[in-house]
Amino acid sequence: MSEYLVIVESPAKAKTIERYLGKKYKVKASMGHIRDLPKSQMGVDAEHNFQPKYITIRGKGPVLKELKTAAKKAKKVFLAADPDREGEAIAWHLAHSLDLDIHSDCRVVFNEITKDAIKESFKHPRPINTDLVDAQQARRVLDRLVGYNISPLLWKKVKKGLSAGRVQSVAVRLIIDRENEIKNFVPEEYWTIVADFKKGKDVFQGAFYGVNGKKVELKSENDVKSILSQIKGKEFDIASVSKKERKRNPAPPFTTSSLQQEAARKLNFRTKKTMMLAQQLYEGIDLGKEGTVGLITYMRTDSTRISEVAQTEAVNFIEQQYGKEFARSEQRKDKKSSNAQDAHEAIRPTSTMREPNSLKEFLSRDQLRLYKLIWERFVASQMAQAVMDTMSVDLKNGDILFRANGSKLKFPGFMKVYVEGTDDQTDEKEKFLPEMEEGEKVKSEVIDPKQHFTQPPPRYSEARLVKTLEELGIGRPSTYSPTLDTIQKRGYVALENKRFIPTELGEIVLELIMEFFPEILDVAFTAKMESDLDEIEEGKIEWVKIIDEFYKGFHKNLLKAEQEMEKVEIKDEEAGEDCELCGHPMVFKMGRYGKFMACSNFPDCRNTKPIVKEIGVKCPKCNEGNIIERKSKKKRIFYGCDRYPECDFLSWDKPIERKCPKCEQLLVEKKLKKGVQVQCTNCDYKEKTVE
C-alpha cells in the first residue's frame, strides 16, 4: 500500500512521467476516454435535464479492470490527464469508474512534461474542476443532439452514412460560399505603368502614382494612353525624398491555430499531421543518455502567454548566442483574441537550450522540422525588433507623378532567426534605391504599361480555413483538425491542389440544413454557442440552461423537417465510357482526393480508375503516346506517357508543346518559389519567370 498510482492518457506520457516520479509512483495509461455516450443510441435524456447516459467504451473493459486493481492497491490515486476540458472530463470519468472522491486532491495538471514541471505539479494537487467538466459535457451533449437527430434524417432523405455537426456544417458553408463567390466573380480590368529610371550607373524602378499629386487609378488602355501622352521627354524631376525608420515586431509564440497555419505554409503539413507530431513532441522523446523528455509545452492552446522562467532562459540564450542588442528589452503585449482561453501557455520548447540541431539523431525528419519551427518562432518572439530604413521618392514629369519605394535592413533583430510566413507568399524583399536629393533629375529608360484583371478570392487551403474559423470564433484548438478530417470523410468537400472544393453531395446537404436548421449554419449563432461554453467553464452559467435554450427551437425544426423534407436522389454524372469488366456505364464519383471514375454497377462491380487528364503534348521519348497528368501515392502531381509500361517517360515538371529554340528538345514548366519558369530539359535555355 506504499505505492501511489498516477493515471494519464497515453503510454508514451506514462513512460516519461514515471521516470521523473521515482519508485513510489506507478504510472498507468487509460488510453484516452474510459466512458462515453453509447454509439448505438442517443444517450441523452431530453425529458430529464438532458442527463447523459455514459457507458464503458467497447474494448476498454480490460484497461478499466487493470486500473481498478491498481487503484485498490494504491495509497492514493492521482489523475494527470491533459490540462484542458477534455483532460478534465477524462479525469472525472476515471474518478467515477474508480470510486474516487472528485472533491479530494486527486487532480494533477502540468503544461509541460519536464522533471521540474512534474515535481512541482505533484506538490499542488487539486479537486476536479466540475465547471471544466460541465463545459466538455455540454459540448458533447450539444453535438450528440445535433448529430444523432439530423443524421438519420439525412440517411432517409439523401443517403446512408451522412452526418451533420455544428462546427463541420459551418466549415462546409464557408467552403461553398467561397465557391459561389468565385463562380459569380466578374473580373475588372486595371492597368499599371512601371518605369525603369537611371541615376548615374544605378537603375531603379518606380510606378505611376497619379496626376497633380492626387492618386489616379488606371481602368483602361485609354487611361494609359492619356497619361503617356502627357509625359514630355525622358527627364523626371525628383520632387520629394522621404526617409524613415520602420520597426517590425516578431510574431508571438504559437497557439494551436497559428501552429497549424504556419506548418501548412512552411512545411506543407496537413493539420492532422501537425497535431500528431506535436503530440509526440509533448509526450516525450527518448534522448539517449538524457532519457525520455517532453520537448514542447501542451499543444492545444489559444494563449500566447509565456512563463517568466521560459522568458528568462530565452533572453539568456539570445544574449549568449547573438549579443545583448538582439534580446527583447521590454515586455511587448501580444494581441490576445477576445475568446482566447488563457489557462495555459503558448506552444514553446520546454528548454530554449535544447537547440534543434542537437536533436537530429533522436527525432524523425518531420518531428525535427516541426520542433525547429516551434523553437525558432519562440526564440524570435523574445528577440528585439527588426529595424528597416525606408525611402520613398516622388518623380515628376509635368503633372505626372511616379513613385519609387525602397528599403534596406538596418538591424535584423528577430529576423536573424525567423520570419512569419503569409498565405499570399509576398515575402518582404530589400529594394535598394540610390541616394537622391530633391531637385535632381533622372532619366526614364523604359516605360512599361501592363494590363491586369482583378482575381477572385482564393479557395480555402487548410491553413486559411483554420484561420477563418478562429477569426469567426467557431470551434476551439482541439476541434479544428477533426473538423477538417470529418468533412472530407463524409464526402462533402474534396482537396484539389491543396484547396477545398465542395462536392455535389456537400451542396445538397448544406441546402437541406439551411432550409430546416438555419441556426446550425448561422456563424454568429455558432460563435455565441462557443462563448456560452466558455462561460460554463468559468462557472458563470449552468450547462443545462444553455442546452435547454438551444433545444427548444431545434426540436421544433426537427419535427417540421421530419414531415416536410423531401427525398433527394443524387444521380451520378456519366463518364462517357463503359466498364471494361462488366460493360455497365462508368460514372464520375467524388472522393477525398477529388474526382475519379467508378462502375455504375456498384456494389456488384467495384471497378474504379483515375480520370486521365491529357495536357496536349506528344511523348518526346516514344513519339507515339500522349503525356498525361498522374498522381503519386503521396498525391504529388507528375507527368508520364499514356503508353506506360511500354514507354517509361516520367517528369515532375509539366512538359509544354513548344520545343526549345536553342536545341529543339523538350521544354518544361518548372515551379519555383516565386512563380513558374520555362526551361529546357537538355540545354541551359531558360525563359523569364512568370509569377
Residues 200 and 100 in one domain: no
Residues 547 and 472 in one domain: yes
Residues 633 and 674 in one domain: no
Report pLDDT for 425. 47
Element at 390 (helix H, strand E): strand 386-397
The type of residue at 93 is H
Residues 331 and 326: their CA atoms lie apart, in Å, by 14
Q: Does residue 341 lie within any of the structural domains?
A: yes
Report pLDDT for 429. 64
Residues 25 and 74: their CA atoms lie apart, in Å, by 9
Report pLDDT for 339. 45
For residue 583, the enclosing domain spans 574-653
Q: Which of 453, 485, 501 is the last residue of a domain?
A: 453
Residue with cell 523569364: 688
Report pLDDT for 464. 92
**Three-class HEC string of 193-226:** EEEEEEECCEEEEEEEEEECCEECCECCHHHHHH
Q: How far is CA 554 from the centre of its chain?
A: 31
Report pLDDT for 424. 55
**Three-class HEC string of 486-532:** HHHHCCCEEEECCEEEECHHHHHHHHHHHHHCHHHHCHHHHHHHHHH
Contact 83, 343 (CB under 8 A): yes
Percent over 90 (pLDDT), the chain: 67
Residues 20 and 562: their CA atoms lie apart, in Å, by 57
Q: Which of 453, 485, 503 is the last residue of a domain?
A: 453
Neighbours of 355 (CB within 10 A): 15
Q: Which of 381, 401, 433 is the last residue of a domain?
A: 381
What strands lie across the sheet with 25-29, from one edge to the other?
25-29, 4-8, 76-79
Report pLDDT for 593. 62
DSSP string spanning 266-284? HH---HHHHHHHHHHHHH-
Peptide bond into 645 cis (omega under 30): yes
The C-alpha cell of 276 is what? 500528431
SS3 13: helix
Residues 663 and 682: their CA atoms lie apart, in Å, by 8
SS3 122: coil
Domain containing 294 — which CATH number?
A: 1.10.290.10
Element at 77 (helix H, strand E): strand 76-79
Residues 20 and 106 in one domain: yes
Neighbours of 638 (CB within 10 A): 13
Residues 391 and 242 in one domain: yes
* Beta-carbon-side half-sphere exposure of residue 477 (alpha carbons within 13 Å): 30
* Beta-carbon-side half-sphere exposure of residue 64 (alpha carbons within 13 Å): 18
Report pLDDT for 166. 86
Residue with cell 508571438: 252
Residues 217 and 79: their CA atoms lie apart, in Å, by 65
Sign, CA dihedral 39-529-111-466, equals positive
The C-alpha cell of 289 is what? 543518455
Q: What is the pTM of this model?
A: 0.80
Q: Does residue 375 lie within any of the structural domains?
A: yes
Report pLDDT for 686. 84
Residue 626, judged by CB atoms within 10 A of its CB (0-12, 13-18, 19+), counts as: middle
| Pairing between β-strand 650-651 and β-strand 637-641 as defined by DSSP bridges | antiparallel
Supply the DSSP symbol for 566. P
Contact 137, 485 (CB under 8 A): no
Residues 107 and 677: their CA atoms lie apart, in Å, by 59
Residue 225, judged by CB atoms within 10 A of its CB (0-12, 13-18, 19+), counts as: exposed
Residues 441 and 203: their CA atoms lie apart, in Å, by 13
Domain containing 76 — which CATH number?
A: 3.40.50.140
SS3 638: strand
Residues 449 and 462 in one domain: no
Report pLDDT for 594. 64
SS3 143: helix
Residues 474 and 587 in one domain: no
Residues 85 and 19 in one domain: yes
Residues 482 and 529 in one domain: yes
Axis crossing angle, helix 166-183 with helix 523-537, rounded to the nearest 10:
150
Domain containing 200 — which CATH number?
A: 2.70.20.10
Q: Does residue 569 lie within any of the structural domains?
A: no
551 counts as catalytic: no
Angle at 320 between CA 319 and CA 324, to 5 degrees: 25
Q: Does residue 198 lie within any of the structural domains?
A: yes
Active-site option among 20, 54, 282, 298: 298
Q: Does residue 625 lie within any of the structural domains?
A: yes
Residues 375 and 352: their CA atoms lie apart, in Å, by 7
Residues 687 and 691: their CA atoms lie apart, in Å, by 12
Residue with cell 442517443: 42
Q: Does residue 627 lie within any of the structural domains?
A: yes
Residues 280 and 294: their CA atoms lie apart, in Å, by 8
Residues 486 and 390 in one domain: no
Domain count, the chain: 6
Closest Cα partner for 174 from 496, 501, 449?
501
The C-alpha cell of 403 is what? 513613385
SS3 423: coil
Residues 367 and 358: their CA atoms lie apart, in Å, by 13
Residues 122 and 223 in one domain: no
pLDDT tens-digit series, residues 280-304: 999 999 998 888 899 999 999 988 9
DSSP string spanning 305-321? ---HHHHHHHHHHHHHH
Residue 499, judged by CB atoms within 10 A of its CB (0-12, 13-18, 19+), counts as: middle
Element at 408 (helix H, strand E): strand 400-411
Point out the residues of the chain with pLDDT beneath 70: 1-2, 330-343, 422-429, 590-594, 633-635, 673-674, 690-691
The C-alpha cell of 123 is what? 506538490
Closest Cα partner for 297 from 1, 5, 305?
305
Report pLDDT for 338. 44
SS3 3: coil
Residues in the chain: 691
Closest Cα partner for 283 from 112, 515, 524, 84?
112
Sign, CA dihedral 578-579-585-588, equals negative
Neighbours of 520 (CB within 10 A): 23
Closest Cα partner for 327 from 317, 337, 335?
317
Residues 52 and 103 in one domain: yes
